[in-house]
Amino acid sequence: MNKEEFDINQELEQMRQDYADLKERFDKQQIINKELIENAMKKDVRRLFLSKKTLPVGIALAVVAVVLCFVMGYPWWLPVSLIIYSLIFFPGIFWVYKGVRAEDFYNGDILSTTQNLLRFKKRYIALVAGICLFFFAFVIAVTLHMTTMNISTELMWRRGIIVAILCIVTLALEYFSARGLLKSCDDIIQRLKIKE
């Protein structure tokens, strides 16, 4: 073997080693990227199912609130409003999550999982719209009730402002919660597309 062939063989061997190093780095980077995507997916899936997991606590609190309203002698319309809200919200949560399962995000059919998530988003938006309509009707009912009470105008305004502030704070919390949940839903859909 002459010097020229020896140099070519050394260059080829060096190229093989460089290729093997690059392939190893690429494989490690792919593993790291896959782990990052899976961790982000787990976080979004936890966020997505938080409402469903806290449902028993919400039902228990609603029952306690209704019982306390009756025990403490509040006007009849307040516990009735809580019952109507519970009849909208709690069955609505079951309806929203119908067909959406956490295990499908990790090893299910990507196309059907994406379709289920898009249906989930539409149902969730409809539920939030129903809750907003309920609060709008609730504020009107409270306002009408306060006008029929035999109280001073100043006291009526104070109570009206308190009710309005409570409704605005509740709707603001619902808005930010819904925005975060829908963003998680969009992120999951994006990651499913990447996974595909």
Instruction: For residue 100, report the phi and psi dihedrals to the nearest 5 degrees.
Output: -105, 120
Q: Which pLDDT value is given to residue 64?
A: 92
- Distances in Å between the Cα of 20 and the Cα atoms of 34, 37, 194 are 21, 26, 26
57 is written with which tokens? 């606590």
21 is written with which tokens? 């190093």
Q: State the residue for tokens 């399962």.
A: 101
**pLDDT grade, residue 144 (50/70/90)?**
confident
Q: What angle do CA 98, 83, 139 make, to 5 degrees?
A: 105
CB-CB contact of 47 with 180 (8 Å): yes
**pLDDT grade, residue 34 (50/70/90)?**
low
161 is written with which tokens? 């402002």
pTM above 0.85, yes or no: no
